[in-house]
Structures are given as C-alpha cells and as structure tokens.
Structure 1
C-alpha cells in the first residue's frame, strides 16, 4: 500500500504490487459510469462479461454484524433505498476478518492476478520489480520502454505499449517521457464518520455490505482501518466499540501529477460542502441505529485515481486519446473523465477490456495489410506484457 500526501489534509492510496489496487480492495463491484454517456461510451457489454467472468454475489445478510443490519433498516425507514453491494468474494469461505484491504489471506476474494495468470499461461512474459522509468519515443512513435531492473536501466522494445499504471502512475510515466497528461486527477474522496457502540465488532465482516446512492456520493458501513492506524482521535475508542459510516464522494476533477511522482490535489471548497452534507446524513443513520457519540471524522483519503488521460467524444471509436503517440495505448481509470463516487474495479476492468479489443483489431488490420503487401505467410508467435 503506497500512500502519497497530496495536500495537508488528503492522502492518496494505491496498491503497488501484482494485481494492483484490486489486491487491497474491499471486493466491491458496481457499474460506475458517471460521465460516460456524455461522451457516447457504453460499457454495458464489457460490464456484463466481466461480472460473469469473475462471479459476483451479495454477501449474505446472516453474516452481517447486528449494527450493520440495524443501520440498513434505519436507511430504509429514512427512504434512502439502501442496496446490498455485489462482491467478488466467496461468502461460504469468508471468515469475516474484515481485513480485505490488507489482501485476502484466505484467497476468497477475486483480484486481477487471475487475469495475469491467464496471460502467463498464454505465453506472456512478466517482469517484476522493474518499474518503468519512461517511454522510448522516436519520431512520434513509441518503440518500447526504459525500465529499472536490479539497480540498472534496461530497455525493452515493443510494437505496442499499453500503460495501465493508474491515474498517478500513467501520468507520471507520460510526463517523465516528455509527453503531456491532463491536470484533471480525481480520487473519489473518502471520509468516514466514527461513533461508539459497545461490543459492535464492526470489523468482523467484509467492509461495505450495503450502500445508499445519492447524487454525487454514497454512504456505506465501513470500519476505517486507515484512521485506526494513523488518526489519533479515531483510536480513542476500543476497536471492538468503534462503528463507522463512510462517505465516498465524486470529487471535482482537478489535480496534477508530476514527472517525479509527486501529486498536487486539494479538497475544494465545493467538495467540503458536499462532504459536510453527506456526513450529516451519515450521523442521522448512526444515531437512529443506536450508535452514540462523540462522533469523529476519520482521515480524508482517496484510492480511486483517474482522469489524467481522459477520453473525449471524438476518442471513443478508437478508445485512444488523439494526442497520444502512435503505438501507445492507455487502459486504466486515467481514461475516465469524471469522478465516480462508487467502487471502480469494474469500470477499470471494462475500460481495459474495451481498449484491448480495439488494440487487437488494430493488430489484425496491420497483419492483414502486411499479408496483402508482401503476399507471404506471417505468424505472430507471442506478445510481451509489462
């Protein structure tokens, strides 16, 4: 888990490991598509295919903690129409340790290493501990990447390069290569309100069993592990008695990533106002469910990082922003122009699937042209993934 402080009050989190942030996620699957219709992008086929592929289901209510059930009932009574979250977790094998964000020790939560295993079985070559420093660009065409491996630089040539390092990593590599990235970083700001209920043991279940959807945020029961580690006011209550209700906000798309990896992202006044409104709603649910004060706010953080290579309407047909060099593609949340305020695993996977299919068709056309021009047999032996 990599933590980057983008301002005095905001910490950004990402998974720096095989499988990326899916390894450290809560396993929540939702169709986040804010801002896609405006540019004419429909990911419904990709959403459906991925949902079926990874296998999603609701986490059974009988395994919820009593306070989670009670807050769900209160949300219903308040007319907030709570929905049970679909999860990529096997509920029969889950031991309800509540530590999904540390990586599932029992292997009952899906993460994207499943796809990686498939690629390797298909002939892909995986380089680990080999961070990409920059792209190799010649005459407006990307020819490969320069990476650092075992304390020395190494060059890998490639016919096509696909960046999928997330809203921060992708932008950092682009700028380190002398290429632009947009200052439109969004992070889905998270703020958790903490209350007290003796013996609640909220940690003893997967986070975010249900949520209520509002115009630009969701509310969901959530024990804030990050705040428990690093936020002193949160730790003033025993872990067994702490209850949390999370706000996940679709923030204003304004933030900058620099070539050295530093990030400048502040919480705008408008975001603070919307967070305050959402926190008031969270307090109402908690109080009505019997959770008492003193109420405390956790750490402001963001773990959904996107928007730095945003698609426009004219880019949707190719799934590639027009200003990117030839033979370079991006396949992560960087492409999503708007903040979501929802779980984004499915969105990231759907964007990548859409890009890969466009990429495959481009390769097929090039191979067909080569066949037509040279009138001879061409065989593609393997692809190399980084």
Structure 2
C-alpha cells in the first residue's frame, strides 16, 4: 500500500473518501471496471501488528478515533486503512432485508457474490474456546437459541488462543476491508493514506472533487465522481463542512454492555475468538454473544464499573455482550458527538442484562457485574430516504455516500456485511454492471 505519495501524475475518474467496507468495496468494483480511482484515507496504512498500542492509537484517542460524552461512555471508530473492520470481531450478520426493501433496495445479488468470495461461516468446534462453549451450554440449558455465529475468519489461518481479534489480526486469519483496497490497487487504483479531507467540492451544481490535507500540505483533487465513505460520524461532518447538510444529524450507535462473572474450572482463559456464539431477539431489539476480551481491555471494563476487586480475575471470568437496537437521536457536531439513552433503550438494557445474569449464574458464575455502555456502530446520520436516495446519491449529482451513515434505521447488529453489500451494489451501479447477472 502506498501511504506516502503526495504528487500525482494523472487525473482520476473517481475519488473514494474512506476505506472501510463500504468505500473499499465500491472502489474495488470501479477499479476493476477500468476507472482511475483514488482512495483518500485519513488514517495510516501500516501493517497490522496486533498490539494494544497500535489499536489504541487508531481507535481510542478521544476526539480522533473515540468520543467521550454524556451517558454514552465511549463511541469507537478506527482511523486506518480498512476502517473499523481491522479491529472488529469479524461477525458477519446478514443485512436487514426488510429495512432496505422498504426503499426498493435488493441486496441479495451482492450478498450472494460475497458468499462466493469471502470466508463466511461459523467457526469449527476447535476454534470455539472454553469460555464461549461454557456460556453456550448454559444458555441452551435455559432454553435459549444460542448458536454459533457466522464469522469472517479463515479457520486454517486462525491461531487458537491468539486473542488478538480486537487488536487487529497480524496473521491474515481475520478478513478486513484492507484486502479489497489491495485488490483495487492491483487493478490500478491509488491509495493515499494520512489524507484528511476537509471539503467536498461542487462546481456548476455537480461533484467536482475534494480538498484535503496530505502530510500537512493542503491539496485539491479534482474528479467528476466522489464516493463519501468516512463513516457514520465522518460523513455527515464532511457534508456539513461543505455546506451540504440541511440541519443537524442524529444517529444510532448500537450501545453495548458487558456482563461478567467469575467461574471455577477455567484458570487460563481469555485467549479465544470473541463472539463465537450468541443469539438475536429481533422483536426485542437485543443481541447477545460471548465477549472474551484481552486482559488489559477486561481490566479497563472492571475499573470502569468500579470493580477493582475483579481486576486480576480475567483468566477465569466469563463475559456476555448485551447489544441493543437504540433509538435514533443525539447530534453530531463539528468536533463532538452527543447522544443519551432514551427510556426504551434503558428498558432493553435492563431486560438484556437480566438474561445475561441468568445465563452466567447457570454457568456457575459469581461476582457478576455489568460495565457501563459503549458503542462502535454509529450510523443512520445520512439515511437512505432522508439525505440520499436508494441509489445512495446525494442532492448533488456525482456525490454518493456509502457507509453506515446511510443505513435507513437501527437494527442492532454488526453492519460490516451490510456495508459490503451496499458498496458492491453501488460499484456495480456506477460501473454500469447489471447485478442480475450475479
């Protein structure tokens, strides 16, 4: 990947702002069709090291990769090539078909194409760790439909006991959108990392390119087609900075709490693939999964909850994620975000935490506690049907948005596969490819 190039000897047919799943998949389709594509990525393109230090620099610096505010304790995004797909848990939830069908969007052809290409499926039993297995057995004994979840992981390359999923996989086992950017670059696209886009350019009523700061130097990049994929927070901010937002942006965030309890019989745990199994109560808007985290992250959760007595219990503490489908609300400002839980959100958390406690108790857990909530899936801020059409085009011809910001409503599950489908569909559309052939 080229992360240092600041001069260009050619013009571009398309600029893609951001390299998460939506932007990377759109850009790859365009590059493969012969278009001259420029990716502009605000973060770095350094190889994934799988370390806490690297992950924290990309995703945990307040005001950059993370936001601290009112009662949403922490909102996380990753600024790096591949976006948050580099540090997520690689869970492949299918797109919410009905949510998109209401806007005349069929993602089935794109989903079929991804199933033919990506490593999608549940983990083999050999990669389901003892903590995840114990939680699953306890949930099933209570009559819950707890089952293995589809993951975007190559089992043959996955190292059991590695625990690095959330830090970034250095072994190539966990898929990330970096692979699509690599494919696009091989097809002739250019990647410019550490490029902070400051304004979307419009000339004579049409998209005309972007202004950016690259390696500390202001640059202008002309192009007749711009795909904005800066994420649920970044995209509305850029639209607002460019005078292209008609009012403040609200959003959803899929808040999460971790419910934890210590057990006997597991003394060297905490080194397994997280979210190996779980369940989703769609009608209630609550999702559950095992959530084994690296030691330092577990300790941060325990300290945040005031449970300093549990700081050194990581190796034998089971953890269950409770994620809710929250109400759209709050506001995204130029340098801040603000969102509070609404009464329906709190009721969902109460219900979900109660069930998680019951599962942990059935698993033999003691000293059970819940963390404060955090979130990592901000979206809906440039929603389809409100600020973009079903073709993902804004009111400005030639300017499209393709990231979590366009998801038309919350549904409370990981959006990676949905964004891949949206990106592929948009790429086919812009390249003039009939998706019916897939």
Please give the per-residue CA displacement for 1:248-273, whole angstroms capped at 9, x wherever unaligned: 1111111321233x111111121011
The residue that corresponds to 1:203 in the other structure is 270
The residue that corresponds to 1:39 in the other structure is 103
Find the residue that maps to 1:355 and give its secondary structure. helix
Q: TM-score, normalised by structure 2?
A: 0.77
Kindly indicate whether the alpha-carbon contact (under 8 Å) linking 2:71 and 2:341 is maintained by their aligned counterparts in 1. Answer: no
Find the residue that maps to 2:356 and give its secondary structure. helix
Kindly indicate whether the alpha-carbon contact (under 8 Å) linking 2:196 and 2:214 is maintained by their aligned counterparts in 1. Answer: yes
The residue that corresponds to 1:236 in the other structure is 309
Kindly indicate whether the alpha-carbon contact (under 8 Å) linking 1:201 and 1:242 is maintained by their aligned counterparts in 2. Answer: no
Change over 3 Å in CA distance of 1:255–1:53 after alignment to 2 = farther
The residue that corresponds to 1:107 in the other structure is 172
Structure 2 counterparts to residues 298-317 of structure 1, below 5 A: 298-312=371-385, 317=390
The residue that corresponds to 2:251 in the other structure is 185
Structure 2 counterparts to residues 271-286 of structure 1, below 5 A: 271-286=345-360
**How far apart, in 1, do the equivalents of 2:202 and 2:389 lie?**
24
Match of 2:81 among 14, 18, 35: 18
User: How big is the shift at 1:300?
Assistant: 1.1
**How far apart, in 2, do the equivalents of 1:141 and 1:335 lie?**
20
Change over 3 Å in CA distance of 1:202–1:183 after alignment to 2 = farther
User: How big is the shift at 1:319?
Assistant: 3.3
1:345 aligns with 2:411: no
**How far apart, in 1, do the equivalents of 2:114 and 2:233 lie?**
24
The residue that corresponds to 1:70 in the other structure is 134
Structure 2 stretches lacking a partner, 5+ long: 1-58, 60-64, 434-438
**How far apart, in 1, do the equivalents of 2:207 and 2:387 lie?**
22
Structure 2 counterparts to residues 1-386 of structure 1, below 5 A: 1=59, 2-33=65-96, 35-95=99-159, 96-180=161-245, 183-198=249-264, 199=266, 201-214=268-281, 215=283, 216-225=285-294, 226-229=297-300, 231-232=302-303, 233=306, 236-237=309-310, 238=312, 239-260=314-335, 262-292=336-366, 294-312=367-385, 317-321=390-394, 324-361=395-432
**How far apart, in 2, do the equivalents of 1:19 and 1:42 lie?**
25
Find the residue that maps to 2:368 and give its secondary structure. strand
CA RMSD of aligned residues (A): 2.1
Stretch of structure 1 that moved more, 161-170 or 45-54 = 45-54
Please give the per-residue CA displacement for 1:279-317, whole angstroms capped at 9, x wherever unaligned: 10111111011112x222123111112101111299665
**How far apart, in 2, do the equivalents of 1:19 and 1:70 lie?**
33
**How far apart, in 2, do the equivalents of 1:150 and 1:76 lie?**
53
Q: TM-score, normalised by structure 1?
A: 0.87
Ranges of 4+ aligned residues in structure 1 off by more than 6 Å: none
Structure 1 stretches lacking a partner, 5+ long: 363-386
Give the total of aligned pairs.
Answer: 358
**How far apart, in 2, do the equivalents of 1:276 and 1:229 lie?**
22
